[in-house]
């Protein structure tokens, strides 16, 4: 009991010294410990009012005039520039729109086409074998479409399979199951040394840690906005196209919105300049402007501070789990080393699905991944250290006093 009291006291001290503690007030929260921001971020308080204005005034009163008067037409690039600092990119390289899946397809096929511009017959796509299933499905489709062979390997094996046949490599910055952070700088350099083009999926890193797209020379990247960027369910994704490759990016999904003269309605296609060639059709304005409001929670918040708190939160959670949970009940799949850890902790345990249901019933929300993984995502903008201590204590109580989960 003294140890538990000690960790609860430590949590209070850590919260008292938390420079990001005030950001929590920018969200709509309750007394639930919400550790599922790696699936769906919490609601920023500014969003409901903004959506009401978009629906009632911009759409309801201004109607078609809002494409110009309310800035609807420029929203994909404007919001892209708002995301850019969060992933280490200069303005003019990110366009917002479509889903992550659609953007992965655009980026991967575009990457193969870029790789072949050098005149070499590159005919292999390398994909992360541990990737989120959809990325793998799309990589397979892209391979069939481009006449490539698909090669699935773990990120640790990528360097060993690169060669003069490699056209494109699709990798995840953070593993969605384990929370392992992969070596973006090193792998990007290795792909470039082989003469290939790299595409990074940032879904589990953007908004949780520094990415450094420009600094590390990443060619193309995609990401969702409904996790650590808190854009809301199904909020539009984004596509990053580095400045110096934009004129070579040939999207497999050209649309009137990405035409150099979108209102010219010409039968022949000429791509727009810059990242705008990543657009396709009419932007999804309602969800896009909700995302723009959500991104205001980042005003004055350095990504470096978010990363520091993320590591402190996950360290403290692992400390509390080790102290509270009966020995042998859980095994951490998340790396201990900070340079290999994202912003989640994955615990393997028997009856994981049932354990997570009990946690949720008791006010601690994480999620479950088949067959035996409990995932806990830590969003530093609104998760505190007292939340972490409470979550570990509730997890321990699911086994009672040494008995089974219940």
- Number of domains into which the chain is organized: 2
Compute the C-alpha angle 23/24/28, nearest 5°. 125
The answer to whether residue 405 is domain-embedded is no
The answer to whether residue 215 is domain-embedded is yes
Per-residue CA distances from 265 to 22, 68, 120, 254, 346 (Å): 50, 19, 35, 13, 51
Q: Residue 401 in 3-state DSSP?
A: coil
* Residue 65: CB atoms within 10 Å: 11
Q: Given a cut of 60, is residue 89 above it in pLDDT?
A: yes
> Is 226 designated active site?
yes
Residues 64 and 13 in one domain: no
The answer to whether residue 231 is domain-embedded is yes
pLDDT, residue 118, reads 80
Contact in structure between 199 and 220 (CB atoms under 8 Å): yes
Among 298, 324, 352, the domain boundary falls at 298
Residues 369 and 330 in one domain: yes
The answer to whether residue 284 is domain-embedded is yes
Which pTM value belongs to this model? 0.96
Q: Per the residue annotation, which of 132, 228, 378, 382 is the catalytic one?
A: 132
Residues 90 and 228 in one domain: yes
Q: Is the bond preceding 58 in cis, omega lying within 30 degrees of 0? A: no
Residues of the chain above pLDDT 70, percent: 97
Q: Per the residue annotation, which of 27, 226, 240, 316 is the catalytic one?
A: 226
Backbone angles phi, psi at 16, to 5 degrees: -65, -30
Among 270, 298, 326, the domain boundary falls at 298
Q: Can you give the CATH number for the domain in which 214 is found?
A: 3.40.640.10
> Is 227 designated active site?
yes
Q: What's the rounded Cα separation, in Å, for the pair 21 and 337?
A: 25
Residues 81 and 25 in one domain: no
pLDDT, residue 401, reads 42
Residues 71 and 218 in one domain: yes
Compute the C-alpha angle 203/205/209, nearest 5°. 160
Residues 8 and 63 in one domain: no
Q: Given a cut of 70, is residue 2 above it in pLDDT?
A: no
Residues 143 and 216 in one domain: yes
Note the pLDDT tens digit of each residue in 312-338: 999 999 999 999 999 999 999 999 999
Q: What's the rounded Cα separation, in Å, for the pair 341 and 336?
A: 7
Q: What's the rounded Cα separation, in Å, for the pair 296 and 27?
A: 11
Q: Per the residue annotation, which of 135, 201, 219, 284 is the catalytic one?
A: 201
Residues 133 and 231 in one domain: yes
Q: Given a cut of 80, is residue 405 above it in pLDDT?
A: no
Note the pLDDT tens digit of each residue in 28-84: 999 999 999 999 999 999 999 999 999 999 999 999 999 999 999 999 999 999 999
Quickly list H helices, 241-302.
285-294
Q: Per the residue annotation, which of 180, 309, 375, 390 is the catalytic one?
A: 375
Residues 389 and 267 in one domain: no
Among 298, 333, 363, the domain boundary falls at 298
pLDDT band at residue 402, thresholds of 50, 70 and 90?
A: very low
Residues 85 and 230 in one domain: yes
Contact in structure between 399 and 329 (CB atoms under 8 Å): yes
Residues 267 and 287 in one domain: yes
Higher pLDDT: 406 or 375? It is 375
Instruction: Name the residue range of residue 319's domain.
Output: 2-30+300-397
Contact in structure between 187 and 198 (CB atoms under 8 Å): yes
The answer to whether residue 406 is domain-embedded is no
Q: What's the rounded Cα separation, in Å, for the pair 355 and 394?
A: 11
Q: Per the residue annotation, which of 113, 177, 227, 341 is the catalytic one?
A: 227
Q: Given a cut of 60, is residue 225 above it in pLDDT?
A: yes
Contact in structure between 196 and 168 (CB atoms under 8 Å): yes
Q: For all residues of the chain together, what is the average pLDDT?
A: 96
Residues 315 and 176 in one domain: no
pLDDT band at residue 3, thresholds of 50, 70 and 90?
A: low
> Is 132 designated active site?
yes
> Do the bridges between strand 27-28 and strand 43-44 make them parallel or antiparallel, or are there none, so unpaired?
antiparallel
Q: What's the rounded Cα separation, in Å, for the pair 195 and 166?
A: 8
For the purposes of burial, counting CB atoms within 10 Å of the CB of 131, is it exposed (0-12), middle (13-18) or buried (19 or more)? buried
Per-residue CA distances from 207 to 302, 320, 363 (Å): 10, 25, 25
Q: What's the rounded Cα separation, in Å, for the pair 377 and 366?
A: 7
Q: What's the rounded Cα separation, in Å, for the pair 44 and 230?
A: 7
């Amino acid at each position: 009991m003294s140890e538990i009291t000690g960790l609860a006291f430590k949590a209070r001290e850590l919260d008292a010294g938390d420079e990001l503690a005030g950001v929590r007030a920018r969200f709509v929260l309750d007394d639930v410990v919400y550790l599922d921001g790696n699936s769906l971020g919490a609601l920023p308080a500014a969003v409901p009012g903004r959506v009401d204005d978009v629906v009632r005034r911009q759409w309801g009163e201004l109607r078609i005039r809002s494409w110009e008067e309310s800035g609807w037409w420029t929203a994909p690039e404007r919001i892209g520039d708002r995301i850019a600092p969060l992933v280490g990119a200069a303005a003019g390289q990110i366009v917002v729109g479509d889903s992550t899946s659609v953007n992965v397809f655009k980026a991967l096929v575009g990457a193969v086409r870029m790789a072949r511009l050098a005149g070499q017959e590159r005919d292999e796509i390398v994909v992360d074998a541990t990737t989120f299933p959809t990325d793998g499905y799309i990589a397979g489709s892209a391979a069939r479409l481009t006449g490539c062979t698909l090669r699935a390997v773990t990120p640790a094996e990528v360097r060993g399979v690169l060669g003069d046949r490699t056209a494109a490599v699709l990798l995840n910055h953070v593993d969605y199951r384990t929370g392992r952070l992969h070596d973006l700088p090193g792998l990007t350099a290795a792909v470039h040394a082989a003469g290939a083009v790299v595409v990074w999926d940032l879904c589990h890193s953007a908004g949780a840690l520094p990415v450094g797209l420009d600094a590390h020379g990443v060619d193309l990247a995609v990401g969702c906005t409904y996790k650590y960027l808190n854009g809301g369910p199904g909020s539009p994704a984004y596509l990053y196209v580095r400045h110096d490759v934009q004129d070579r990016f040939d999207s497999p999904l050209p649309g009137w919105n990405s035409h150099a003269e979108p209102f010219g309605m010409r039968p022949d296609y000429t791509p727009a300049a810059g990242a705008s060639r990543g657009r396709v059709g009419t932007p999804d304005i309602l969800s896009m402007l909700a995302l723009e409001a959500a991104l205001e929670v980042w005003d004055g918040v350095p990504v470096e501070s978010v990363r520091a708190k993320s590591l402190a939160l996950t360290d403290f959670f692992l400390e509390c789990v080790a102290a509270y949970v009966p020995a042998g009940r859980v095994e951490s799949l998340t790396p201990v080393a900070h340079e290999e850890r994202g912003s989640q902790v994955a615990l393997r345990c028997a009856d994981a699905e049932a354990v997570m249901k009990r946690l949720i019933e008791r006010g601690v929300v994480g999620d479950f991944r088949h067959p035996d993984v409990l995932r806990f995502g830590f969003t530093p903008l609104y998760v505190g250290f007292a939340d972490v201590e409470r979550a570990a204590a509730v997890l321990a109580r699911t086994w009672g006093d040494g008995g089974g989960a219940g």
